[in-house]
Every structure is written in C-alpha cells, then in structure tokens.
Amino acid sequence: MKKIELTLLVNDILKEMEILQLHRRTITYYKSGLSSICEFFENHKKYSFTENTLDVFLENMNEKLLRNELSLFQFKRLERASKVLARYANIGKLTWDTLPKGSSIKVNGYFSDISSSYEVFLGRHQMSGIRYIRANVRHFLKFLEEIGHKDFTEMSLQTIRDFLIATQPTHRGSMPNVMDSVKKFVHFLNIEGLTSLTPEMIQFKVATPRKKVLPCFSKEEVKAMLEQINTYTPQGKRDYAIIYLASQTGLRCSDILGLKLTDIDWKHNEMHIIQKKTGEALSLPFGSDTGKAMADYILQGRPDTDVPYVFLRVEPPYRKLVDTAVTSSILAKYMKKADITHLPGDGKTFHALRRSIGTWMLESEIPLPTISQILGHRSLDSTKRYLSLATSMLSECTLDIQDLGTERRELV
C-alpha cells in the first residue's frame, strides 16, 4: 500500500462525511475517534497510515477496556473509527451503510454505533433474550429518528410513553417484553452518561397478555421418535443422546448445545451448568439411561477432538452445534419418521420436550417448587403454566353436579 500521511487521510474522510451530509453528531462522533488514532500514531512516531500500527492501537484500547480504563462506548467508537479509516485507506472512497448486519431496521450512523455497543454490553452481561431485546431497541431507535431525535439529549419519559403507545398495536402479546427491553436500554444509556433517565423512572403500565399454552409431546410420541433413530451410526448416537437428554431432564436447547464435557459429574450422575437464558447456576441429576445415552455417544460416536463441548458436528471441521435450528431439524426428521403430525403454530418444537417433562412431573404429583428448581425457572409463575397441560390431573378436578346439593330440581 502506498504511504499516505495520516492527517491528510483523516481530513479527507471528514470532508467526505460533510459531502454525504451526515448528521453533525455523527461527524463529531467519528472525528473524536479519528483524533485519538492520530494521537496514538504521533506518540509512536508514525506519521503515515499503516494497518500494523492501527492493529497495535486497537490492541492497546482493548487492554484498556479490560482494565476498566475505557468504557465500552468509548471502545466501540474507536473501533468503528478504525474500520472507517482502514476501509478508506484501502479503497479511497467513503461508503456509508446504515444497515448493520443482521438487522432490517435502518437508523442513522450514530444510533447504529450505540446499538452495536449495546449488543456487546448485552453479551458481556449474559442477559437473556438478547435477540428480542436487540430487535425492540432497534425499533425504539427508529422511532426516535422518525420523530426528529438525532441523539438522546431530548429523550424524555413522554418520548418513551409515546413509543410504547405507538408500538402497542403491533405487539399486543409482548408489551411487557418491549417495556423490559426499553428499561434495560435506558439503564445502559445512563451508565454511559448519555441520559439522566433511569429504569426506575419508567413506571408506565402495559397490558399483560394472556399466555398461550402450547401442547407437549406424550410419552408415547417421544418413545416413537427415539425408536426411529439408528444408534449404530455416530450421527444417530448424537441425535439419540440430544433428544433423550432433552426429554428426560428438560434442559433448554441452548444449554444442551453449550454443554461441556467438564460439566458432567459421572460419579454422582449430575450436570453443573450456567444457564444461558438466566445466567444462573443449575445442578441437575440425570438417570442411568440418560447417562448411558450420553456415554455411548461420547465414547463411540463423538469425534476425537480437543473441542470441549459434548455435541459436535459429524463432519470436519469438528465444532459445537451452535444453531438451535439444527436441533429443530433433528427433531423434525424423527417426528416425520414416527408419523407425528406437525403443523405451524402447534407448539410441537424442540422446546416442547421441555414442556413435556414438566407436565409429566406434574402428573406424577411432584410439587411445583421442585419442578421449578429442576427446570431452572426463576419464577414459580413460569412453572404454573404446566398446570394447563396436565390434562389427566385436571380431569380429576371436575365435579359431578349431583354433588353440589342444589335444591332446584330443574338444574339437575
């Protein structure tokens, strides 16, 4: 690459931002990051742009972030500025894309940067439901942009209330989740010094939706699926262990895929994990048949590799199954072989295996608090939904009208 004086490069970038008519706040945001880069180059007696020096700069900033000498927002600003600088140095042109990867909601460059920083924040704090929080926040940022906000300086409680009102018609069944997402985002903005609002200030009431009770699998259906699996092949051993583990322990799909060899205590037939959804520790016993299914796969079907996760791809490169769509396709395959009908919205998904074990335990008269503990629920309310699925128990609650002792014979 031809040597280019860094200050000239930066000036050209800022001029092109003006030509593209980017918002003043966005230009200021990137100018601050580029100035920090220039200062670093000068301190190291580097006056021409080189990618090697830029890499050293980012490594230094990452170390500062780990030492808490730099906020996450500041780091993301420097990282974004570095990407713009490197791209411009390579192609000689400033391209501005406001459509971040994985999102179909376009927002301005500044809001995109905030959104990216927030996603990193969510990941580092292992918050559950990241995908839904991210989507709700993108809608919120789009709303702010549409009503003329370029940053968060004029965001008020009334602004948030207006967003909730505007969102309600299209989110009738998930307004509590939208509210929770906004509160979490406001908390992040407050930490970064971008707003004086706090989550505690947001006291609006939203309608709690009726929770739909989706069906579960019967024991016969699970047995039928397991019988369709060829356990003489590595893939069959893996698929059998995954489905059996889910149906016998109620582990979430994400926790099964994240299960490591070191999480299994074979001596005491227990698993010790940190739940991905809740971030809380869970110690879960497993039966001998579950242990046999896992051991058969690990010893006879799992690839010989240093990868720490239990369930891996069958073909190289050997790595963990990372997409829950994989387990969905595994289940669908054996449902079809077992002639189990599956229609859109009928609830017969991989997660239904978790609902199944919860329902079976309830029908076996295991107390709700125990079921809640086994399933790793943070709230007993989550477990109470299984009451609607335990049809055999509900049938016992019906009363014969003759037992009501009515004195009006026309009612009998």
The residue from 277, 313, 320, 333 that is catalytic is: 277
351 as an active site residue: the answer is yes
* H or E segment and range at residue 264: strand 264-265
Q: Is 308 exposed, middle or buried (0-12, 13-18, 19+ CB in 10 A)?
A: exposed
Q: Which of 131, 204, 197 is nearest to 164 (CA)?
A: 204
The residue from 171, 238, 355, 377 that is catalytic is: 377
The residue from 30, 118, 309, 386 that is catalytic is: 386
The residue from 134, 138, 351, 355 that is catalytic is: 351
Helices 351-363/219-227 angle, 10° precision: 130
Contact 360, 371 (CB under 8 A): no
384 as an active site residue: the answer is no
87 as an active site residue: the answer is no
Q: What is the DSSP string of 276-330?
A: TTT--EEEEE--HHHHHHHHHHHHHTS-S----BSSB-SSSS--B---HHHHHHH
Contact 171, 178 (CB under 8 A): yes
409 as an active site residue: the answer is no
The residue from 80, 134, 184, 252 that is catalytic is: 252
354 as an active site residue: the answer is yes
- Strand partners of residue 265: 270
The residue from 134, 171, 354, 355 that is catalytic is: 354
**Collapsed DSSP state (helix, strand, coil) of residue 129:** coil
Residue type, 122: L
Q: From CA 234, how far away is CA 304, in angstroms rounded?
A: 12
Dihedral (C-alpha) 128, 130, 133, 134: value to the nearest 10 degrees? 170
Q: Are strands 264-265 and 281-285 parallel, antiparallel or unpaired?
A: unpaired
377 as an active site residue: the answer is yes
Annotated catalytic sites, by residue? Answer: 252, 277, 351, 354, 377, 386
